[in-house]
Amino acid sequence: MSKRNKKQPRPAPKAVAPSTVQKSGTTPSAPDNQEVMVLAQAWQMGWSTALSNTGERVDPKTALQSSAVSRCITVLANDVAKLPLHVTKELEEGGYERDSSHPVATLLRRPNPGQNLIEVVSDLITGYALWGNGYAAVLRDAKGRARAVVPLRNGDVVVLPNERTGNIYYQATHRMWAQRSRKFSSRDMIHIRTAITDNGYEGKSPIELSPDAVGIALAISRHVATYFRQGTQLGGLMELTNAVRPEAIAAIKQSWHEQQAGGSNAHKLGILPLGAKWHDVGNSAADAQLNEAAQANTLEIAGLFGVPPHRIGLSDNIKFSNLENLEQQYVNNTLSVICRKVEEALEHALFFEDELARYQIRFDFDALMRGDYKTRIEGRSAAIMSGQLSPNEARVKEGLAPYEGGEKFITPMNMAPADQSPNNLPNTSNAPLLDGAEEN
């Protein structure tokens, strides 16, 4: 073959970010689709070769076969997604009030034509917990206003850092886009990541950081499934007193397996061949401790995701007296951190620069920490009596309609400002009497 016709190997694609910042509402020219897919596949291949010391392959897809992992991710996604999300505006006298008329508030009620807010937030948190990164693209109109928020799968997003400028860009594909590949600036991409990262812009999943914990869960699940498939017994020995040919031994073994193996054949009457004796092997000490090992592994996985054990079915040591404290710790240490990441990412992507100082996006944790009715009413009453809430504000929090006059703040009759307390009142014992008054 001549040198002219000999094919030269194609160099590996390079991720080169543009030197100029993308303007809102514009879509830069996309590179070759094949190049994008190669980059995305290379990103995913980093997971496909991960093996735990148990011999189980661990990646985000296989990890979901663990009930503890899938339950933790579901709990996190559901708990964040079910929180109401409000746009609030800063008041001149201080504090914030809800602004339901803002265009961003309207967008959040229906982020894109195919999904509601709960589904979009759930997809974002699922990617965050499973892969370490949650992505959603912001599509804009000709004036640069956000018109849709579209969640993206991790395998469809490639992060392109510009080492010269320090800016971050994203190359993303979506099956519903006419132009399959698009490039986004950091302002047009909602990106939340976990705290641990190798490069400063992509997070690492708990699954990637602790593959052995997930591998143990998969190995235990496989072992238990095999245990039941083999008849819920570890096995035994069949002693044949007479000389038997290998063909007959194979036939006896096959017949015994068909009649006795499997969960559907458990506890059936077994008939031994003439002259045969059965020796039960029994369960080993290690098998007797399998349940304890599985429970300890579930606790470890719950700790990796920051989820309380009772939320994934482990409630042996949970008491009603400390359940509220556990829920409060869960909100403070896990959910509040995730929600702040989502809030700041949404504010950065959806508000214009001149709005960031006056508007904010906040989750309403009252929906999660409502408590029982008696506790809520006592708390509302204390807030009304201390002047923190008006009666109408308390009624709105309970989903009740306000009433006329309920907007006024009230205080008990026996309360007064601190500077007018009895100890600070002026001494009037020597004051002159009023005209017409008689001294006692």
Q: Is the dihedral of CA 96, 99, 102, 105 positive or negative?
A: positive
DSSP 203: B
Q: How many CB atoms lie within 10 A of CB 345?
A: 20
Q: pLDDT tens digits, the chain, 440 residues: what are they?
A: 444 444 444 444 444 333 333 333 344 333 444 444 444 444 444 444 467 888 888 988 899 999 999 999 999 999 999 999 999 999 888 888 899 999 999 999 999 999 999 999 999 999 999 999 999 999 999 999 999 999 999 989 999 998 888 899 999 998 877 777 899 999 999 999 999 998 888 999 999 999 999 999 999 888 888 766 665 454 667 777 777 778 877 887 787 777 766 555 555 666 677 667 776 666 555 555 778 888 899 999 999 999 999 899 887 777 766 777 888 899 999 999 999 999 999 999 999 999 999 999 999 988 776 666 777 788 888 888 888 888 888 888 877 888 888 888 887 776 666 555 555 555 655 656 555 555 55
Which token pair is 27?
Answer: 């879509």
Could you write out the DSSP letters of every residue in 424-439? GS---TTSPPPTT---
Q: Is the dihedral of CA 153, 305, 342, 83 positive or negative?
A: positive
Taking phi over 0 as left and psi of -120 to 50 as alpha, with beta for the rest, 231 belongs to: left
Reference 36, options 153, 180, 136; nearest CA is 180
Within 8 A by CB and 6+ apart from 18, the residues are: 28, 162, 169, 183
pLDDT recorded at residue 130: 94
pLDDT recorded at residue 382: 87
pLDDT recorded at residue 281: 62
pLDDT recorded at residue 379: 83
CA distance 240 to 247: 14
pLDDT recorded at residue 383: 86
CA distance 314 to 101: 44
On whether the pTM is more than 0.85, the answer is no
Q: From edge to edge, which strands make up the β-sheet containing 133-140?
A: 146-152, 133-140, 189-193
Long-range contact set of residues 289-292: C-beta below 8 Å, sequence gap at least 24: 290/220, 290/223, 290/224
CA distance 45 to 103: 41
Residue with tokens 């694609």: 13
CB 162 within 8 A of CB 172: no
pLDDT recorded at residue 235: 61
Which token pair is 380?
Answer: 């509302």
pLDDT recorded at residue 6: 46
CB 390 within 8 A of CB 408: yes
Residue type at 56? E
